Amino acid sequence: MTRSGFMCLLPGLFCIANAFAAESPSKYPLRCQSDDGFLLILSDRALDPERCKSHVARVIKAFAFVADSAAWKDRGPLTAQPLRFSVLGDPALKVLGYAQGPNLMVMKDAYMDNPLSEGTLAHELTHIQDLRQLRGKRLPSFMLEGRALTIGQAYRMHIGQKPGDYDRQMARSAATFTAEQAMELLDNYRGHGWNNQAIGTVVVEYMRVQWNGGVAGINPRLSRMIERIAAGREFDLAFQDEFKVAAEAFADTFAGWLRTTQNIPQQRLRGTIWQSFAAESLTAKPSRVARDDYVSEVIDIVDEVLRW
Ligand SMILES: [Zn+2]
């Protein structure tokens, strides 16, 4: 028996509700929905109707931004199935938010009042769109995260926010990865957590800014790669088809660049989304709070995708 299962023997009904919630965040009552029925807002609590409507509007706006950034060839898969957004209270949700497979996004309702949640929305919606386009095929988790973090950051800037403590922490990781650390992280197609997210973002930023003079329209190009994977190509081959360079050769070039720029943040971060933090990136204090405030793990993606 799991620890939570055991704990649930005592407090009775509350615990049953809690266990139910933890296992089925998509089963909460419907509180409101978009006019076209695409977006369904679920919650464990009675949401004020205005607040519920505001959640709908914010998700739809971020979803459109993500779709534009990705520039999908076919937007059909994006709205082919309803998207459930479950906003939950503290007892039901321990983390701030996550996407679970292609059809469900979960977030703490109180976190929606934090401006950073705009970035989290765009981040999770990028996962949702990528998974919908992949149609059950696999993209390495670092690449899913690199996509989601760059688009999430772009969305925050798009709506007028400024880079903040979260970006400073990311800049620190970006500036300090060694080539060896990076290669180990990139070897793991199912990694998770802060470093997995950070290295994926460094890869996407490196491609956008540095690689062969910088790849124009990097996110549309990555979308083309995802479409190739959805059509049946393995990741490494889809990468080669799209960028005309073997994935392994890319990794060698990337590792060489990491070695050249080791401990020279002004060079490594030049032109990237972290450029303004270059001077302080090596001395920025790691802040667990800033990380926990933002990091939302994609949990159960694999199981969910297989079942989809
Ligand atoms: Zn993510």
The structure's pTM equals: 0.87
Q: At residue 8, does pLDDT exceed 50?
A: no
Q: At residue 61, does pLDDT exceed 60?
A: yes
Mean pLDDT of 235-242: 97
In a domain, 220, yes or no: yes
Please tell me the distance between residue 304's alpha carbon and the centre of ligand 1 in angstroms.
Answer: 15
Asked if 291 and 190 sit in the same domain, the reply is: yes
Confidence of residue 194 (pLDDT cuts 50, 70, 90): confident
Please tell me the distance between residue 129's alpha carbon and the centre of ligand 1 in angstroms.
Answer: 12
Asked if 125 and 147 sit in the same domain, the reply is: no
Phi/psi of residue 105, nearest 5 degrees: -125, 140
Please tell me the distance between residue 10's alpha carbon and the centre of ligand 1 in angstroms.
Answer: 35
Give the single-character DSSP code of 262. T
Residue ending a domain, among 102, 134, 166, is: 134
Asked if 113 and 130 sit in the same domain, the reply is: yes
Q: Which of 241, 247, 201 is nearest to 224 (CA)?
A: 241
Q: Is the dihedral of CA 37, 108, 115, 160 positive or negative?
A: negative
Q: At residue 78, does pLDDT exceed 80?
A: yes
In a domain, 212, yes or no: yes
Asked if 200 and 240 sit in the same domain, the reply is: yes
Mean pLDDT of 132-153: 95
Please tell me the distance between residue 196's alpha carbon and the centre of ligand 1 in angstroms.
Answer: 10
Specify the residue for token string 């679970």.
100
Please tell me the distance between residue 125's alpha carbon and the centre of ligand 1 in angstroms.
Answer: 9
Would you state the pLDDT for residue 293?
A: 45
Mean pLDDT of 143-169: 94
Residue ending a domain, among 134, 156, 188, is: 134
Give the single-character DSSP code of 284. P
Please tell me the distance between residue 240's alpha carbon and the centre of ligand 1 in angstroms.
Answer: 24
Q: At residue 307, does pLDDT exceed 50?
A: no
Confidence of residue 94 (pLDDT cuts 50, 70, 90): low
Would you state the pLDDT for residue 83?
A: 98
Please tell me the distance between residue 297's alpha carbon and the centre of ligand 1 in angstroms.
Answer: 5
Please tell me the distance between residue 277's alpha carbon and the centre of ligand 1 in angstroms.
Answer: 22
Return all residues near 211 (Cβ < 8 A) that are at least 6 apart: 250, 253, 254
Asked if 99 and 245 sit in the same domain, the reply is: no
Q: At residue 58, does pLDDT exceed 50?
A: yes
Q: At residue 297, does pLDDT exceed 50?
A: no
Please tell me the distance between residue 197's alpha carbon and the centre of ligand 1 in angstroms.
Answer: 7
Q: Write the DSSP string, 141-197.
A: HHHHHHHHHHHHHHHHHHTT----HHHHHHHHHHHH--HHHHHHHHH-TT--SHHHH
Please tell me the distance between residue 150's alpha carbon and the centre of ligand 1 in angstroms.
Answer: 11
In a domain, 5, yes or no: no
Q: At residue 4, does pLDDT exceed 60?
A: no
Please tell me the distance between residue 145's alpha carbon and the centre of ligand 1 in angstroms.
Answer: 5
Please tell me the distance between residue 282's alpha carbon and the centre of ligand 1 in angstroms.
Answer: 24
Higher pLDDT, 292 or 40: 40
CATH at residue 45: 3.30.2010.30
List 41's β-bridge partners, or say none.
32, 85
Would you state the pLDDT for residue 12?
A: 35
Domains contained in the chain, number: 2
Confidence of residue 15 (pLDDT cuts 50, 70, 90): very low
Would you state the pLDDT for residue 291?
A: 52
Return all residues near 239 (Cβ < 8 A) that are at least 6 apart: 225, 245, 246, 247, 250
Confidence of residue 24 (pLDDT cuts 50, 70, 90): confident
Please tell me the distance between residue 44's alpha carbon and the centre of ligand 1 in angstroms.
Answer: 24
Mean pLDDT of 168-184: 94
Please tell me the distance between residue 8's alpha carbon and the centre of ligand 1 in angstroms.
Answer: 30
Q: At residue 298, does pLDDT exceed 60?
A: no
Q: At residue 31, does pLDDT exceed 50?
A: yes
Please tell me the distance between residue 183's alpha carbon and the centre of ligand 1 in angstroms.
Answer: 20
Residues of the domain holding 128: 28-134
Please tell me the distance between residue 76's alpha carbon and the centre of ligand 1 in angstroms.
Answer: 23
